[in-house]
Structure 1
Amino acid sequence: MTSFYKFLVYELDFPVDVAARIRIPKVYVPLKNILTEEEVKRLLEAA
Structure 2
Amino acid sequence: MNSSHADIELQTELMHKSDTIWTAMPKADKEAIEQIINTDPNVIN
TM superposition score normalised by structure 2: 0.29
TM superposition score normalised by structure 1: 0.28
Give the number of the structure whose residues are more often helix, by fraction.
2
